[in-house]
Amino acid sequence: MKKLGLIGYPLGHSFSKKYYLEKFQQEQIANIDYDLYPIPKITEFTTIINDKDFYGVNVTIPYKIDVMDYLNELSEEAQSIQAVNCIRIIHHADGSTYLKGYNTDAHGFEASLRPLLNQQDKKALILGNGGAAKAVMYALDQIGISYKLVSRTKQVDNFIYDELDASVFSEYTVIINCSPVGTFPHINDAPEIPYEHITEKHLCYDLIYNPEETTFLRKSKEQGARIKNGYEMLVLQAEKNWEIWNS
């Protein structure tokens, strides 16, 4: 039985496990299992590496950066983003193991965003500055959209939330929520931005997919904006993982 899985800690509900197990069943893919592997310390990753049945894993919080110390190679996008969410494990006949890390979050985001863009969408605001924002920034660079981060602390080249006004929103027509604000069960929460300045010219994208329509998306839609949640991004990312593992 070949093994795939997700490492992180703690691990609760997993989109990945549900997605792959349903994929295996629907496409009649036999002799492969996908499971969750909560590891309290990154050093426990060696147990998975040494298991010859593993040929790929996904990585989530808090190990997307720490896991890079265990890899032999990084793909171009993982090197640029400095975060990994997908690893291909190759076991050689001589007993050695080769691990290559990828970041498929960037692919999923870019591929789901491109069809939504209009000609005026040249600049983006990124709400939040965590790991997810790094993949989004990489994808926006590939598309050719400039961006600014919005966070609570003023840094060299970002906005703080209090600086967002009508002039900023008229210039930045793409707004991407990379923060966890609004995730189930805190479904009434939303990023503290001036929604009254959002118009039909705006595209508002939330990386959250549970709930399907966050308060951020609902408020933006009420202002006439185009909206998108993170579900398709996850599906595209998952299919890219599968392609990598089986290439």
Helices in 67-103 by DSSP H: which ranges?
76-81
Q: Which of 3, 17, 64, 134 is catalytic?
A: 64
**Residue 64: active-site member:** yes
Cβ-count burial of 153 within 10 angstroms (0-12 exposed, 13-18 middle, 19+ buried)?
exposed
Handedness of CA 148, 154, 157, 159 (dihedral sign): positive
Beta pairing partners, 6: 36, 58
Q: What's the DSSP call for residue 71? A: -
The rounded distance, in Å, linking the Cα atoms of 73 and 39 is 22
**Tell me, what amino acid is at 72?**
N
Return the closest-CA partner of residue 21 out of 13, 29, 9. 29
The rounded distance, in Å, linking the Cα atoms of 43 and 242 is 25
Residues with catalytic function: 64
